[in-house]
Amino acid sequence: MMASASGQVQHELEEIYRAESRRVLATLIRLLGDFELAEEALHDAFAAALKQWPAEGLPNNPRAWLVSTGRFKAIDRLRRQARQDPLTDAMAQQLEAETADPADWAEDRVEDDHLRLIFTCCHPALSMDARVALTLREVCGLTTEEIASAFLSAPATLAQRIVRAKNKIRSAAIPYRVPVRRDLPERLDGVLRVIYLVFNEGYSASTGDNLMRTDLSGEAIRLGRQLNGLLPGAEVQGLLALMLLTESRRKARIDDAGELVLLEDQDRKLWDRKMIVEGIELVRRALRSHGFGPYSLQAAIAAVHAEAPCAEETDWREIVGLYDVLLRLAPSPVVELNRAVALSMRDGPDVGLNLIEAILERGELSDYHLAHAARADLYRRLGMSRQAITAYKKALSLALQTTERQFLQRRLLELAG
């Protein structure tokens, strides 16, 4: 019976770690003022819980217990180091002098800490690579090895990047806080971009053998949900909707042979209807707000695809209209490319092809394999096999992802036959 109870407590501790560890870390960073010390304190607190809870039972407030224990463990660690380092001794004395206040780990304060951690990891003073790596490590809790594997980096290289980011935060005295209201839109956009990049790398990897990394896209969606709970707004809702609607198609993207399946050919019965329903509701809420932007519009486009019972019933007129608005709001060559593809579906392949040719002639997207693949597909639909082969070869020369390369090679074989 005792063994059974102990096992139950350990199971609950594991669940608490998954659900609460990043929030506990965020509060410890605020209380201790140092990333490394807070991470060590987090580890020590959970180690103490693993030792004490099976014998004593779960405390009434596990999160508060972990924060309090982590704080005291950090002070003990600093005391031990103080024999050789006067600065460490001063830091230990300062932490001891600061009376622990239960309000420090109240629910609303902890959520504020979590939001502070997100904005600190996504600070514009850090490079984008550093922001992504630090967010995945500190906010999402992925290991250095997991992050390195996702981005095809050596673990040692990735670890150095994270260390440099933490040093930059310390040396530049980057404030551990949520931006003031006047700075919030710009800073929030940077946070959303980090989440968007993490999701894209998980849903459609830029390189490597695996087209999809469910751990990364899953972490991005989890982070999007957290941000929406902490700081709800049109573009936060829009990005979460975009991720959910895109992720809903995951199971249909690869066939049983491991081959890429285009959107128009996917079995829509495999799409996740629960994600679609949630995503569409978020889109509606975002578009009803005056603050919607590019993420909300992209999500609206994804919603039109999701609502079509089959590819032939897709409302391309509405999609083109949404791209028109998106192009005015956030002009870019990639948006132009996507609009051209949508126009080809509404008005015919020759219309879209002319627009894509114009984009490429300007020198924009010349190194973007999807632009050449789109041009190749339109040539193929027009029966212009020679030009299609040339364009597919160009796309193949630029593509780095194995599954996409296999798809392009398959198209070339079909045309050659």
Per-residue pLDDT tens digits for 185-200: 778 988 999 999 889 8
Name which of 38-42, 56-60, 249-253, 258-262 the model is least confident about. Answer: 56-60
Residue % of the chain over a pLDDT of 70: 90
Dihedrals phi, psi of 142, to nearest 5 degrees: -70, 150
CA atoms within 13 A of residue 350's CA, in its CB half-sphere:
3
Per-residue pLDDT tens digits for 134-151: 988 888 888 888 888 777
Per-residue pLDDT tens digits for 99-113: 555 555 555 565 678
**Facing residues of 260 across strands?**
254
- For residue 330, is it left (φ>0), alpha (ψ between -120 and 50) or beta? beta
Which residue carries 């014998």 as its tokens?
55
Q: Contact at 8 Å (CB) between 314 and 302?
A: no
Give Cβ neighbours of residue 352 (< 8 Å, ≥ 6 apart). 340, 341, 342, 343, 344, 345, 374, 378
Q: Which long-range contacts (CB under 8 A, 24 or more apart) does 359-363 make?
A: 359/333
Q: CA dihedral in degrees (230, 232, 236, 240; nearest 10)?
A: 80
Q: Report pLDDT for 207.
A: 66
Q: Report pLDDT for 2.
A: 40
Q: What's the whole-number mean pLDDT along residues 151-176?
A: 87
Q: Contact at 8 Å (CB) between 164 and 17?
A: no
Q: What's the whole-number mean pLDDT along residues 312-323?
A: 98
Q: Is the pLDDT of residue 215 over 70?
A: yes
Name which of 157-161, 275-279, 373-377 the model is least confident about. Answer: 157-161
pTM over 0.75: yes
Angle at 199 between CA 172 and CA 194, to 5 degrees: 20
Whole-angstrom distance, CA of residue 272 vs CA of residue 294: 24
Whole-angstrom distance, CA of residue 320 vs CA of residue 89: 64
Whole-angstrom distance, CA of residue 6 vs CA of residue 248: 39
Name which of 86-90, 123-127, 257-261, 306-310 the model is least confident about. Answer: 86-90
Q: How many residues does the chain have?
A: 417
Which residue carries 């090679």 as its tokens?
409
Average pLDDT, the chain: 88
Q: What's the whole-number mean pLDDT along residues 123-137?
A: 90
Q: Is the pLDDT of residue 128 over 80?
A: yes
> Would you say the C-alpha torsion 301, 303, 308, 309 has a positive or negative sign?
positive
Per-residue pLDDT tens digits for 60-76: 889 889 998 999 898 88
